[in-house]
Amino acid sequence: MQGFGKRFGASLANTEAAGFFKVFALPAVLHQDPRYFAKRDGSVLARGVYAATRVIFTRNDNNHVTFNTSQVLGDLFIHSLNNAYYPRVDRGLSQTLNGTLGAILSDAGSNVLREFSPDIWKVFHKHEPASVKRIEERMPRSVQRITGAIPPEQSQPPEPAKPPEQNKQLEQNRESRQDAE
């Protein structure tokens, strides 16, 4: 149990450090967006390559494609941090570099899965038995969204209505542009 507790604690520390450094601290300091945005159109090969390369490329605050420094440095930092609390046999440069490469490849695989999971769900839902469809229809919408019973494009909440004064201003701007043309 003692060994299990140590490994569990180390794994938990890795997960929390990854969340902090790769998703919050480094992207904020380097002005990069750590999120993955699915492409959802194009050939299977183009979508797969796009998804896999998003661990190397990302968008910055100016919406330009840039090297994903926060991802790569975050993984390198987290696996370097492992040297502080893993046993001596699991420490060193080779373990750090292997762990970093493994994390990058794992994230690339996760992005590919995110890219194609709606398509996979559609295949499963197309062939599901009628009894399962009836059960899904009785579920609350929030659960349907989680299980994939509602396609992603339908699960987005509608945009909030603009206040009437903002609509008038938009109309006036549009009319003034048309008059200028």
Encode burial over 134-173: b for 16+ CB neighbours within 10 A, e otherwise. eebeeeeeeebbeebbbeeeeeeeeeeeeeeeeeeeeeee
Q: How far is C-alpha 116 from the geometric centre of its chain's CA atoms? A: 13
10 Å CB burial of residue 95 (0-12, 13-18, 19+) is middle
Instruction: Report residue 175 as tokens.
Output: 């009319």
Specify the long-range contacts of residues 147-150, CB closer than 8 Å, at least 24 apart.
Answer: 148/117, 148/118, 148/121, 149/125
Instruction: Report residue 6 as tokens.
Output: 């140590």
Q: Where are the domains of the chain?
A: 2-118, 128-181
Specify the long-range contacts of residues 96-100, CB closer than 8 Å, at least 24 apart.
Answer: 99/75, 100/72, 100/75, 100/76
**pLDDT at residue 161, as a whole number:** 52
**pLDDT at residue 31, as a whole number:** 95
The DSSP symbol for 24 reads I
The pLDDT tens digits along the chain (181 residues) read 888 888 888 888 888 888 899 989 999 999 999 999 999 899 999 999 999 999 999 999 999 999 999 999 999 999 888 777 777 887 888 888 998 999 999 999 999 999 999 888 888 878 888 888 888 788 887 766 666 656 555 545 555 555 555 566 666 666 666 666 5
Q: What are phi and psi of 56, to 5 degrees?
A: -100, -35
Q: How far is C-alpha 75 from the geometric centre of its chain's CA atoms? A: 16
